[in-house]
Amino acid sequence: MPTAREAKKAETRARLMRETARLVLVRGTEGTTVADVASAVGVSARTFHNYFASLEAALEEFLHAQAQAFRAELDQAPAGASLLDTVEEIVLDSFHGNSTDNVDNVVSVFRICTALESIHGASVSATFLPSLANRETSIALYGLLAIAWAAVDAYQHLPEPRDPADGEELIREAFETARNLGSIRLP
């Protein structure tokens, strides 16, 4: 059992990580500073740096935590469940929490991944995806998440104000397309 001090440190680390993600969603990477995050959490910039070397490091840890949570949800699926149906359900459940303040929803996680990619100048999303027992399942999972990402991206590009029902429809349509991939023919 962690001591009170260890628990407080873990809580501070989590708050800094989540506030970094929230501010990057609201202000973008260019408009977010360590001082902003520290102030929002009620600590000094020095304290931020005791936990993270940079905003990028805090975002990376946030995405790793999200990947672990996603993996835990996959692990809770019944044995023999369809990977496609399970991922669709997880994405839709996460989409329901879509708001600027909720950094845990699928829209936010994909946007944070995109922000981190803009910092790196290269794709980083595969780094955060969980590995599964075999290559075939891992490849299928990456493909399904790319499909989900495309649906969420299409939702993000709808004119404001966006209706969450449209986002759900795009996600369902994307996964239905995945179900029918074998029957789609070139023109």
For the four alpha carbons of 66, 68, 73 and 74, in that order, the dihedral sign comes to positive
In a domain, residue 12? The reply is no
Q: State which residues form the domain around 145.
A: 55-183
CA distance 81 to 60: 30
Q: Are 37 and 55 in contact (CB under 8 A)?
A: yes
> 16-74: per-residue pLDDT in tens?
999 999 999 889 889 999 999 999 999 999 999 999 999 999 998 998 888 888 888 88
In a domain, residue 1? The reply is no
In a domain, residue 138? The reply is yes
Q: What is the dihedral of CA 150, 128, 181, 84, to 10 degrees?
A: -110
> 64-117: per-residue pLDDT in tens?
888 888 888 888 989 889 989 999 998 998 887 655 557 777 778 878 877 777
CATH number of the domain that residue 169 is part of: 1.10.357
In a domain, residue 6? The reply is no
In a domain, residue 28? The reply is no
Domain count, the chain: 1
Q: What is the dihedral of CA 69, 74, 76, 81, to 10 degrees?
A: 170
In a domain, residue 15? The reply is no
Q: Is the pTM of this model over 0.85?
A: no
Q: How confident is the model at residue 177 (pLDDT cuts 50, 70, 90)?
A: very high
